[in-house]
Structure 1
């Protein structure tokens, strides 16, 4: 009974409770530092539930990556905070006119920001698997050998900035207010925790709509081209449209399935990961997403999702 409550209650707590608290704080003009409280609550809940209902117990143990990942999180979360703080200055460059629908309820404004950011970040993500110069930066994220909450911000800071620019730049152009940006930043942090979580939580049929951990594990498969699926940050809508969505309920993952088969000795230290994209060791050929049918065949599924022997 407890396991069932955790499996279905945890995503509600994170996606509705934590995000809802952040939206309420931002809507009422709470001090900026108070927006950190929902993030800290989300991180704490993530680590707790990963230990109560783990997907893989060994993913809760450090693979000599805990300190490195903590540094990645600190640097990249700091960049997000700085980006939010810079919005007024960027708005001044845009000029005084705003096309933002401030007459809408605040929660609707945040949902609108999420939809736009999801599209922009997903498109940059897709491009990062298609063009070698972007892949050099994005490969840092794909070097992971376990999936757990902090993986979400385990990224090269330049790639983090490019993804955020793809999602947030259109919103700044149309005049997104700072409180909406603050709520959006918390929602992004929560989503990254959920997407890479080692918690064996469930969302029922929404797993085909929301970009959560059960689908995102396919994105971290180590074979070349195998992870060119399920790119979405918040939703899988763009993957359905692009033919890059895939899911197999019977597939189980272990550390042997993750990482990069072509680069098994990819640097594991933080400093090395910051430098390697600009070295010969970080070189990588252009990658192109596989068509859906190829993926269906690789997963031994027919067009209706029925399993067949390989």
Structure 2
């Protein structure tokens, strides 16, 4: 079973779950089927993490279980609501219907993924450099255990910004509702994979796909050290931006995650929603201690 998870979990999620989402969306199935599919993906995420954990400690709640459920529930409902608003947005802001409707549906979804990946990656990159954006993004970086559900733990305003920037170019050229529905599921699945505590393997694809082996470096808590590997779906833009980082010898623990400059960041759901609006919500990188394990990273 461990070997199945190690080598089969990622193909199952990317080809099986995402493929099923595309098939359901292409047939115009009820959005409830997509919600059910997402529930299956979340269940598989938890199961894989228990069969083959990278760090067993991260499978145990640390007073954050209810908070993470609240974040995931609210954010996924908002994402689905955003998808439901696509027809209205398309009717009001579409510049020209340039969408490749004649392409096979799977290719349309893939095109949407690649375009959204650029907008989301650049927004993520900016959120580490612009103070007001970091205030909201810091909620996501407050985690000290790295497991799939963490991917769905974001301040709703920051998620709305990332999603909006990622989807806006698509809407302008006539993104169909069924493609948007499939895209919403692929985003959620990718976040589960990217933050997964499952010790899976993807070989050389770890240099191209934005999965957990690379994304753990993004959650290192020291100033500047975690400003790497911003991509959601791919690491292509990180290679071009010079922000790709990978060290095969690095082993991660809870003590290396979070924010060194804000070790006492609020942990409650409502407190995290309010923190960006408080004076204490600012986080000055200069106050952080340096990475004690800093060494030359192997960059491909």
Q: Does residue 32 of structure 1 match 2:31?
A: yes
Other-structure match for 1:291: none
Q: RMSD value over aligned CA atoms? A: 1.6
What is the rounded CA distance, in whole Å, between the counterparts of 1:209 and 1:300 in structure 2? 20
- Any stretches of 5+ residues in structure 2 without a counterpart? none
Q: Does residue 68 of structure 1 match 2:64?
A: no
Other-structure match for 1:202: 201
Inter-CA distance 110–248: structure 2 relative to 1 (3 Å threshold): same
What is the rounded CA distance, in whole Å, between the counterparts of 2:89 and 2:214 in structure 1? 35
Quote how far apart the aligned CAs of 1:302 are. Answer: 6.1
Please say if residues 261 and 285 of structure 2, whose CA atoms lie closer than 8 Å, have aligned partners that are also in contact.
no
TM-score normalised by length of structure 1: 0.92
Other-structure match for 1:221: 220
Other-structure match for 1:110: 109
Other-structure match for 1:230: 229
Q: Does residue 13 of structure 1 match 2:12?
A: yes
Other-structure match for 1:174: 173
Other-structure match for 1:241: 240
Residues 92-101 or 257-266, more deviating: 92-101
Quote how far apart the aligned CAs of 1:74 are. Answer: 0.6
Please say if residues 19 and 38 of structure 1, whose CA atoms lie closer than 8 Å, have aligned partners that are also in contact.
no
Please say if residues 130 and 286 of structure 1, whose CA atoms lie closer than 8 Å, have aligned partners that are also in contact.
no
TM-score normalised by length of structure 2: 0.95
Quote how far apart the aligned CAs of 1:165 are. Answer: 0.6
Other-structure match for 1:47: 46
Quote how far apart the aligned CAs of 1:140 are. Answer: 0.4
Q: Does residue 262 of structure 1 match 2:261?
A: yes
Quote how far apart the aligned CAs of 1:284 are. Answer: 2.6
Other-structure match for 1:252: 251
1:138-177 alignment, distance < 5 Å: 138-177=137-176
Quote how far apart the aligned CAs of 1:250 are. Answer: 1.5
Quote how far apart the aligned CAs of 1:35 are. Answer: 1.0
Please say if residues 131 and 286 of structure 1, whose CA atoms lie closer than 8 Å, have aligned partners that are also in contact.
no
1:230 match: secondary structure = coil
Residues 273-282 or 86-95, more deviating: 86-95
How many equivalent pairs are there? 295
What is the rounded CA distance, in whole Å, between the counterparts of 1:102 and 1:249 in structure 2? 42
What is the rounded CA distance, in whole Å, between the counterparts of 2:106 and 2:42 in structure 1? 23
Please say if residues 216 and 252 of structure 2, whose CA atoms lie closer than 8 Å, have aligned partners that are also in contact.
yes
Other-structure match for 2:295: 299
Inter-CA distance 24–180: structure 2 relative to 1 (3 Å threshold): same
Any idea what the Cα deviations from partners look like across 1:76-102, whole Å, max 9, x if unmatched? 001100000000111111258411110
1:140 match: secondary structure = helix
Quote how far apart the aligned CAs of 1:298 are. Answer: 3.5
Any idea what the Cα deviations from partners look like across 1:99-122, whole Å, max 9, x if unmatched? 111011110000000000000000
2:35 match: secondary structure = helix
Please say if residues 95 and 172 of structure 2, whose CA atoms lie closer than 8 Å, have aligned partners that are also in contact.
no
